[in-house]
């Protein structure tokens, strides 16, 4: 009997201690102390790294960063469930989003390049050839001057920001033929690297020596070519807020846009800074030269 009592007492003690601990360490969510950013996995590394640096410099602030995809980011910010929605696309391009309610903050530019398996033996395609490859008109690489290998298309998932950008600017708004879909750039790269005849597309930062990137119309996929828009397949990375940002959200976005982050983190993580761009592109895809540059 006494042993049972003892156990009961111990159980009660544990519950009380845990309860007190949980109460003491509960997340205090006053405005201006903790914000959440959700969305695009392509932008996640940058926001995470910037958030870590920021909270390191400003003690007592918390910036939670979560993935989930561009669609999740935009729908969460539209509902007001989070403070920042990360997106690869202009909000107006995503179906079901009222872009007028959201304020756009462009914090980075990312270039996207077609990649092929190294055995394909092609390093340059014309845009017309690329479109024929992705729409299924070219089924063997020898039709475009490569090895005798069947073409294996690998797409990103429908609704992915990378895919939307690639189809709009790389394929001139042609839709890719239905083919394999993978939901991450890392997976796409490893499949292209190991599958003979494979072709896909990834952000510049994912290109390594296991895959061959392609020049289009003899323009090579370099950052310099992106800044002048000679390489057309690129997109902005957006932080969206509902209405004008306030408090910590405002400070954090200003921090990400500041030269300190743009010149260091943004470059280190393989993005381009919007300030490097010599042209500007609006949601409709219209290009205008930047004033100062």
Binding site residues, another protein, CB under 8 A: 41, 67-72, 74-75, 78-79, 94-97, 152, 157-160, 175, 178-183, 194-195, 198
Q: Cβ distance 216 to 114 under 8 Å?
A: yes
Q: Could you tell me the smallest distance in angstroms from the CB atom of residue 65 to another protein?
A: 15
Minimum CB–partner distance for residue 179 and another protein (Å) = 5
Q: Measured from the CB of residue 35, what is the shortest distance to another protein in angstroms?
A: 21
Residue 41 or 83: which CB sits closer to another protein?
Answer: 41
Q: Least distance from C-beta 192 to another protein, angstroms?
A: 11
Least Å distance, CB 78 to another protein, is 8
Angle formed at CA 270 by CA 267 and CA 275, multiple of 5 degrees:
45
In terms of DSSP bridges, do strands 152-156 and 84-87 run parallel, antiparallel, or are they unpaired? unpaired
Between 168 and 229, whose beta carbon lies closer to another protein? 168
Q: How far is the CB of 162 from another protein (least distance, A)?
A: 10
For the chain, report the end-to-end CA distance as a whole number of angstroms. 84
Cβ closest to another protein, residue 155 vs residue 273: 155
Neighbours of 18 (CB within 10 A): 10
With respect to another protein, which residue has the nearer C-beta, 99 or 219?
99
Strand partners, 65: 37
Alpha carbons 250 and 231: distance in angstroms, whole number: 33
Report the candidate in 35, 55, 53 with the shortest Cα–Cα distance to residue 45.
53
DSSP state of 18: H
Residue whose CB is less far from another protein, 125 or 152: 152
Least distance from C-beta 185 to another protein, angstroms? 13
Upper half-sphere CA count for residue 182 (Cβ side, 13 Å): 17
CA–CA dist 285, 288 (Å, integer): 10
Q: Are strands 102-116 and 212-213 parallel, antiparallel or unpaired?
A: antiparallel
Nearer to another protein, 20 or 157 (CB): 157
User: Residue 293 pairs with which residues in a beta bridge?
Assistant: none
User: At a CB cut-off of 8 Å and minimum separation 6, what does 74 contact?
Assistant: 39, 85, 87, 89, 91, 94, 97, 102, 240
Considering the complex, state which of residue 51 and residue 71 has its C-beta at the smaller distance from another protein: 71
């Amino acid at each position: 009997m006494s042993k049972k009592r003892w156990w009961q007492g111990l159980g009660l003690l544990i519950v009380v201690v845990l309860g007190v601990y949980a109460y003491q360490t509960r997340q205090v969510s006053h405005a201006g102390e903790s914000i959440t950013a959700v969305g695009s996995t392509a932008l996640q590394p940058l926001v995470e790294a910037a958030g870590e640096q920021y909270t390191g410099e400003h003690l007592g602030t918390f910036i939670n960063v979560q993935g989930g995809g561009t669609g999740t980011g935009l729908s969460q910010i539209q509902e007001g469930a989070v403070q920042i929605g990360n997106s690869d696309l202009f909000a107006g391009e995503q179906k079901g989003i009222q872009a007028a309610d959201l304020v756009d903050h462009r914090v980075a530019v990312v270039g996207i390049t077609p990649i092929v398996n190294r055995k394909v033996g092609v390093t340059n395609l014309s845009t017309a050839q690329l479109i024929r490859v992705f729409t299924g008109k070219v089924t063997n690489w020898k039709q475009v001057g490569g090895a005798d290998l069947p073409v294996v298309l690998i797409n990103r998932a429908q609704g992915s920001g990378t895919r939307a950008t690639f189809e709009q600017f790389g394929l001139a708004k042609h839709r890719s033929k239905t083919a394999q879909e993978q939901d991450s750039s890392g997976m796409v790269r490893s499949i292209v690297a190991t599958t003979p005849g494979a072709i896909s597309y990834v952000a510049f930062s994912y290109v390594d020596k296991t895959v061959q990137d392609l020049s289009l119309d003899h323009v090579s996929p370099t950052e310099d070519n992106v800044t002048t828009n000679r390489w057309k397949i690129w997109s902005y990375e957006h932080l969206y807020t509902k209405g004008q940002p306030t408090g910590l959200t405002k400070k954090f976005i200003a921090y990400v846009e500041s030269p300190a982050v743009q010149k260091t983190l943004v470059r280190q993580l393989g993005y381009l800074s919007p300030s490097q761009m010599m042209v500007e592109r609006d949601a409709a895809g219209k290009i205008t030269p930047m004033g100062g540059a």
